[in-house]
């Protein structure tokens, strides 16, 4: 059975897309720790990040960097924190989270809630920054 993230890539489940390339896709996390909390994933479904083959792993890391630069351009923050957890969804993904302090990337904190309009506006501005880089 396909992962939730494969269904997102195929448009079977909606997502707020912020960037895509031939091998990778990025979208807003549904339960964000911060405005602009993004998940960057390889299109190819592999559960564990360190089982991803070298070529796609390299693509994903470079993609994550470029998405982080786009987020940083449009979301005021000190820097973009990076985390890999993977305990919930068995499809490798990199969390990119705007942070100002260490607790901003604490996954045990309550998640934030934004309206659909706010999420769309956030996704649109990251996508625009990514595509104009």
The residues that touch ligand 5GP, with contacts defined as CB under 6 A, are 4, 13, 15, 27-31, 39, 85-89
Residue 18 or 132: the one with the smaller Cβ distance to ligand 5GP is 18
* Residue 32 token pair: 């964000």
Q: What's the CA dihedral at 11, 68, 70, 36 to 10 degrees?
A: 60
Say whether 95 is catalytic: no
Residue 13 or 133: the one with the smaller Cβ distance to ligand 5GP is 13
The Cα–Cα gap between 133 and 131 comes to 6
Closest CA to 78 of 51, 43, 103: 103
Question: Please, what is the minimum distance in Å from the beta carbon of residue 125 to ligand 5GP?
Answer: 17
Residue 15 or 66: the one with the smaller Cβ distance to ligand 5GP is 15
């Amino acid at each position: 059975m396909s992962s939730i993230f494969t269904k997102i890539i195929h448009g079977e489940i909606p997502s707020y897309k912020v960037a895509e390339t031939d091998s990778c896709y990025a979208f807003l996390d549904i339960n964000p720790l911060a405005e602009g909390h993004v998940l960057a994933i390889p299109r190819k479904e592999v559960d564990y990040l360190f089982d991803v083959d070298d070529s796609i792993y390299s693509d994903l890391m470079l993609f994550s960097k470029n998405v982080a630069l786009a987020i940083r351009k449009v979301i005021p923050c000190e820097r973009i924190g990076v985390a890999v957890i993977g305990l919930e969804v068995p499809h490798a993904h990199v969390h990119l989270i705007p942070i100002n302090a260490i607790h901003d990337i604490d996954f045990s904190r309550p998640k934030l809630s934004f309206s659909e309009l706010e999420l769309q506006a956030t996704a649109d501005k990251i996508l625009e920054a990514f595509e104009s880089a």
